[in-house]
Structure 1
Amino acid sequence: MSRADLAKSNFMKGYNCSQAVLLAFADLAHLDEETALKISSSFGGGMGRMREVCGTVSGIFMAAGMIFYDAGAPAAKEKSNQYAIVQELARRFKEKNGSIICRELLSGVHTDSTPVAEARTEGYYKKRPCADLCYDAAEILEDYLRERSVIGE
């Protein structure tokens, strides 16, 4: 199963979008499942359901940070070029989906930004693109990791 398929499956199991994606890369990020779920728990729904940066995008940013950041290096931020990585991943996601902003991605779907998540019903899954966005985000990071020879084909 690809990491993209795994991210989509995680979302369909009830994890929020950010959790679904980060969890798909937890092994590469050297995170146990519980830690990955805790770290990403606040980023669903565009950061706490505020409909800002899509949680799937936040998930791949967190995974990339854990995979590429070299905390032992002087000026590690510059050495690992985290900002360039984030900007490239965001560019790819935006190119594929038109935006990295949750409310824009959910345009046409009735949503709100209350702090109470909607029940995960069959209707919920039918009207939202979130499961597919989990797939897209994870596929983008998976492709990027292959290009950088972090993972094989």
Structure 2
Amino acid sequence: MTTSTRVAVATDFLQAGYSCSEALLLTYAKEMGLGHACALKLASGLAGGMGAGGGTCGVMTSACLVIGLAAGPETIAEPGARDRVRGLVDTFRNGFVADHGALACQALNGGVDPSTPEGKAAIRAAGRVQELVARAVRRLDAILARG
């Protein structure tokens, strides 16, 4: 799948009502051997800054899951894979902060509280989530292509 196709798929998930974390992980799930339902369950608690607490952005935390699925160890006997994943996550995180100026959901969304229905609606209406997810897909694809 091309990066532009992934961006479109992620955008479609967002428009269908999925959260940022769900849309990002679902975009990569099938390629990574993860079923839709399992990916949805894994990502569902990450939105809004881990359980809508305003903490680390669900896009960031789902990106960690994608990186782990792509490059993580399959057995405990692969310490090099853990180091590789940590390096890739570090690269993603540094780029995310450079792009957006923060990691926390609430900071990324202008102080809007993601735990309230009004806050969730305001965040979606502002369009910031679409930008965060699209940039994350582009950055993930670039990082994973370099390995």
Counterpart in 1 of 2:40? 37
Question: In structure 2, what is the Cα distance between the partners aligned to 1:77 and 1:28?
Answer: 24
The C-alpha deviation readout for 1:18-57, integer Å capped at 9, x for no partner, is 0000011112321011111011000000111101111011
Q: Compare 51-60 and 5-14 and name the one that shifted more.
A: 5-14
Counterpart in 2 of 1:61? 64
* TM-aligned CA deviation for residue 117 of structure 1: 4.4
Counterpart in 2 of 1:146? 145
Native 8 Å contact 1:8 1:132 kept in 2: no
Native 8 Å contact 2:106 2:114 kept in 1: no
Native 8 Å contact 2:113 2:120 kept in 1: no
Counterpart in 2 of 1:79? 81
Question: In structure 2, what is the Cα distance between the partners aligned to 1:146 and 1:112?
Answer: 35
Q: Secondary structure at the match of 1:89?
A: helix
Question: In structure 2, what is the Cα distance between the partners aligned to 1:104 and 1:120?
Answer: 14
Native 8 Å contact 2:22 2:47 kept in 1: yes
Matched, 1:51 2:54: yes
* TM-aligned CA deviation for residue 119 of structure 1: 8.8
User: Please, which of 98, 101, 104 is the counterpart of residue 101 of structure 1?
Assistant: 104
Counterpart in 2 of 1:125? 124
| TM-score normalised over the length of structure 2 | 0.85
Matched, 1:135 2:140: no
* TM-aligned CA deviation for residue 106 of structure 1: 0.8
* Higher relative helix content: 2
Native 8 Å contact 1:106 1:128 kept in 2: no
Match of 2:34, as an amino acid? L
Native 8 Å contact 1:3 1:142 kept in 2: no
Give the share of equivalent positions with the same residue, in percent: 24
C-alpha distance 131-113 of structure 1, shift in aligned 2 (>3 A) = closer
Counterpart in 2 of 1:151? none
* TM-aligned CA deviation for residue 4 of structure 1: 2.2
Q: Secondary structure at the match of 2:113?
A: coil
Native 8 Å contact 2:54 2:104 kept in 1: yes
